[in-house]
Amino acid sequence: MLLRARNHMLLWLVLVAASLMPVGEPALVNGPTLVASQVDYEPVVVWDTCPFPLPRGETEGVTIDCGYLIVPQDRAEPGGVEVELAVAILYSTGPTPAPDPILYLEGGPGGSALTGVDAWAVSVLRTDRDIILIDQRGTGYSWPWLTCYEVDEIEDELGEAAALTACRQRLAADGIDVSDYNSANSAKDVADLRVALEIDEWNLVGISYGTRLALTIMRDYPEGVRSVILDSAYPPVVDAYEQQAVASTRVFNKLFTDCATDPACSAAYPDLEGTFYRVLDALDADPLDDPDLDGLYYGGDLVMFMFDLFYDANTVPYMPRMIAELDQGETATFLDLYWGELPPYTGDSAVGDDLAFRFVDEFFWLSDDFDDATYNALWDDLYALDADLTGLDGIIDTYFEPESADYLLNLLYSMDLNDRSRLGVMLFVDDVSDADGMFNAVECNEEVPFNDLSETREIAATLPTAISEVDVEIFVDMLDTCAAWNAGVAADVEDDAVYSDIPTLVLAGAYDPVTPPEWGMIAVSTLSNGYFFLFPAEGHSVLETSPCADSIVLSFLDAPLSTPDATCLMTLDGITFETQ
């Protein structure tokens, strides 16, 4: 980002030149700028080199193009600060692609769509349509990137509120007003992108928070939206913080009920619910003290850990066994889930066969647990490597445990020259996959103000305390965050249901802990051409894991006004629990 901040004049010259070109002609872009005052603005896409390592098999200018959408930070001040929104277009792999592309809206809020380009490069949805990815304002490779490194640097010394205040003040010094980073403005950005790309119609795909943004677009800028897919819906009408304890309790109860009604699971783990609460009480009385964990482990820590596990329903089969073992003082399954050894890696996905992608994913996950001194020494050694990565194997042997080192070395030695070259780029690219400042900006502006702490506590009081108290504490912490963040308060419409006749497909996972199926049903209830489908053995983000969901989406995209072919749902089973 330092490079971007040093090139104001260069970008100004580029934008002047770009304004004289037809939209789509290549140009360079180098960062934020203040432009001369003007009565209005015209959105423009400035094409540039892709800011991320290209997925395997992709060729820039042939199968993929990248650029930046340039729009005002505040459209009421079109002559003020401009934001650059990173865009990537993956061209269809089919011989006759449909004229209406897919625009993907990442979740979070604060997530980066472009960091997931590898998965979209091999998506079955690309067969018939171009796929457009955009890093929403404040996220990913877009400028500005609303992340708060101050939280890591000074939180322990001065407290979270002081760290967040320091972050907001730093952003403000760069002309960044965090109250401009919300769904309403992001929706206008998307509408501007369609105009700038000269696209008549497109289809929106949103996951998690991306569904909320999609609903905002449907409400405010429906022009040119052919159809919408909402995966794991987060509708604005739901008061999420008040309802989160309900959602959390629901998914735990589903686990207990599904095990109780499964003959093998109920025989192996009778009264799983009672065992679970007994384990929580035991951990609170005598917290787990294991050298493989970061400090003492209490009952609330287990609740939060399992909540996170539910996002990926492939972990659910192992949960009853884990609970039963913990009740006996055993930690084998718990630690295997904690460290990602379960569920076992199958290697059957296209991205999973990308050795460079798998290496980087594992490398960062393992090294993230290093202490500061070891982590810094590791990166000092990495930066000293030549471009061909000679000596990387020695670094792996030095810093990683033998089992982890063997896994990484096996991946490294199995790579061809192309994969090793890509690895050299992927290792050193900045991680922009998440922007905590953008999360705060959106939630504090348009969600938290419409939730009441007293109401949250009243609802929580009707639920099991061991689960609900965790969610109440999260809301209290979020209130403190918002007090320091000062993101403003959205209009009341951001707490209302969205009504639309745009054809909309809503997908939900039965084990989704954070955007439960009920929220999808609420969203679809005000969409006159909406379809809702529940997947019995999926968690959060159904499209990431379910081939059946892909099939239904393809059918829907072919004829959005007709009921999609969902016969594959009839072949799906529920969870098969591990009892050995």
Query: Does some domain include residue 26?
Result: yes
Q: Are residues 34 and 117 both part of a single domain? A: yes
Q: What is the pLDDT of residues 343-361, one digit of tens each?
A: 986 654 445 578 898 899 8
Q: What is the pLDDT of residue 345?
A: 64
Q: Are residues 60 and 199 both part of a single domain? A: yes
Query: Does some domain include residue 408?
Result: yes
Alpha-carbon distances of 255 from 44, 266, 271, rounded to whole Å? 50, 11, 12
Count of residues for the chain?
A: 580
Sign of the alpha-carbon dihedral angle for 32, 130, 563, 536 = negative
Sign of the alpha-carbon dihedral angle for 323, 324, 327, 330 = negative
Instruction: Judge whether 220 and 230 are in contact, CB under 8 Å.
Output: no
Q: What is the pTM of this model?
A: 0.90
Three-state DSSP class for residue 106: coil
Mean pLDDT (whole number) for 243-252: 98
Report the share of the chain in percent with pLDDT over 70. 92
| Residues contacting 575, CB < 8 A, separation 6+ | 258, 262, 313, 316, 317, 511, 536, 537
How many domains does the chain fold into?
Answer: 2
Query: Does some domain include residue 257?
Result: no
Q: What is the pLDDT of residue 124?
A: 97
Amino acid identity of residue 149, one-letter, is: Y
Q: Are residues 6 and 119 both part of a single domain? A: yes
Three-state DSSP class for residue 292: coil
Three-state DSSP class for residue 425: helix
Q: Are residues 104 and 19 both part of a single domain? A: yes
Res 443 pLDDT > 50:
yes
Report which secondary-structure segment, H or E, holds 229. strand 225-231
Of 426, 441, 475, the residue at which a domain comes to its end is: 426
Phi-psi region of 507 (alpha: psi -120 to 50; beta: other; left: phi over 0): beta
102: domain range? 1-142+181-237+496-562
Phi and psi of 379, rounded to 5°? -75, -30
Res 33 pLDDT > 50:
no
| Residues contacting 314, CB < 8 A, separation 6+ | 343, 545
Q: What is the pLDDT of residues 166-211, one digit of tens each?
A: 999 999 999 999 999 999 999 999 999 999 999 999 999 999 999 9
Q: Are residues 95 and 17 both part of a single domain? A: yes
Query: Does some domain include residue 149?
Result: no
Q: What is the pLDDT of residues 559-574, one digit of tens each?
A: 999 999 999 999 999 9
Mean pLDDT (whole number) for 368-382: 91
Residue in 578, 506, 494 with CA at minimum distance from that of residue 535: 506
For 212-305, strand residue ranges (E) read 225-231
CA-CA distance, 59 to 79, in Å (whole number)?
A: 36
Q: What is the average pLDDT value for the chain, to the nearest integer?
A: 91
Instruction: Judge whether 499 and 525 are in contact, CB under 8 Å.
Output: no
CA-CA distance, 370 to 392, in Å (whole number)?
A: 18
Q: Are residues 102 and 202 both part of a single domain? A: yes
Mean pLDDT (whole number) for 136-144: 98
Res 25 pLDDT > 90:
no
Q: What is the CATH number of the domain that holds 558?
A: 3.40.50.1820
Mean pLDDT (whole number) for 39-65: 93
Res 73 pLDDT > 50:
yes
Which two three-digit tokens encode residue 574? 């529920």
| Residues contacting 432, CB < 8 A, separation 6+ | 112, 115, 135, 139, 140, 141, 145, 147
Q: What is the pLDDT of residues 275-319, one digit of tens each?
A: 999 999 999 999 999 887 888 999 999 999 999 999 999 999 999
Report which secondary-structure segment, H or E, holds 420. helix 417-426
Q: What is the pLDDT of residue 159?
A: 85
CA-CA distance, 191 to 168, in Å (whole number)?
A: 28
Instruction: Judge whether 87 and 134 are in contact, CB under 8 Å.
Output: yes
Q: Are residues 417 and 513 both part of a single domain? A: no
Which two three-digit tokens encode residue 195? 């105009």
